[in-house]
């Protein structure tokens, strides 16, 4: 699955981000992964700085908040819709 580049960063894909995480596994401390859809994003409270990982993670991923039971907002809404039906 390809995504549009952000901030004029050029052409890249989710695969590039996954390769980056394989190369720098310590960067995963700043990542969230939804237990429902398995999407990956950086933690919104990740510091803004010139550290080793911060720029690259923002380049490759979007922010992701896990709201309840390890689910992103989209999956939580979908779960509530299913429960209501």
pLDDT of residue 6: 45
Q: Tell me if 5 is assigned to some domain.
A: no
Q: Tell me if 67 is assigned to some domain.
A: yes
Name which of 52, 75, 62, 59 is nearest 11 in CA terms.
Answer: 59
The domain in which residue 44 lies consists of 14-84
Looking at the structure of the chain, the number of domains it has is 1
Q: Tell me if 75 is assigned to some domain.
A: yes
Q: Tell me if 33 is assigned to some domain.
A: yes
pLDDT of residue 54: 87
Q: Tell me if 6 is assigned to some domain.
A: no
Confidence of residue 55 (pLDDT cuts 50, 70, 90): confident
The DSSP annotation for the chain comes to: -B---STT--S-BHHHHHHHHHH-GGGGGGEEE-TTT--EEE-TTPPPSS-TTHHHHHHH--B--EEETTEEHHHHHHHHHHHH-
Q: Tell me if 69 is assigned to some domain.
A: yes
- Kindly calculate the radius of gyration of the chain based on its CA atoms and give it in whole angstroms: 14
Q: Render pLDDT for 62-73 as a digit per residue (tens, 0 to 9).
A: 999 999 889 999
Burial zone of 16 (CB within 10 Å; 0-12 exposed, 13-18 middle, 19+ buried): middle
A 10 A CB-CB count for 34 gives 20
Q: Tell me if 1 is assigned to some domain.
A: no
Q: Tell me if 64 is assigned to some domain.
A: yes
């Amino acid at each position: 699955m390809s995504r549009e580049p952000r901030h004029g960063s050029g052409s890249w894909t989710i695969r590039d981000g996954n390769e980056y995480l394989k190369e720098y596994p310590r960067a995963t401390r700043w990542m969230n992964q939804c237990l429902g859809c398995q999407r990956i994003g950086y933690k919104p409270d990740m510091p803004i700085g010139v550290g080793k990982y911060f720029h690259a993670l923002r380049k490759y991923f979007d922010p992701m908040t896990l709201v309840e039971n390890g689910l992103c907002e989209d999956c939580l809404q979908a779960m509530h819709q299913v429960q209501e039906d």
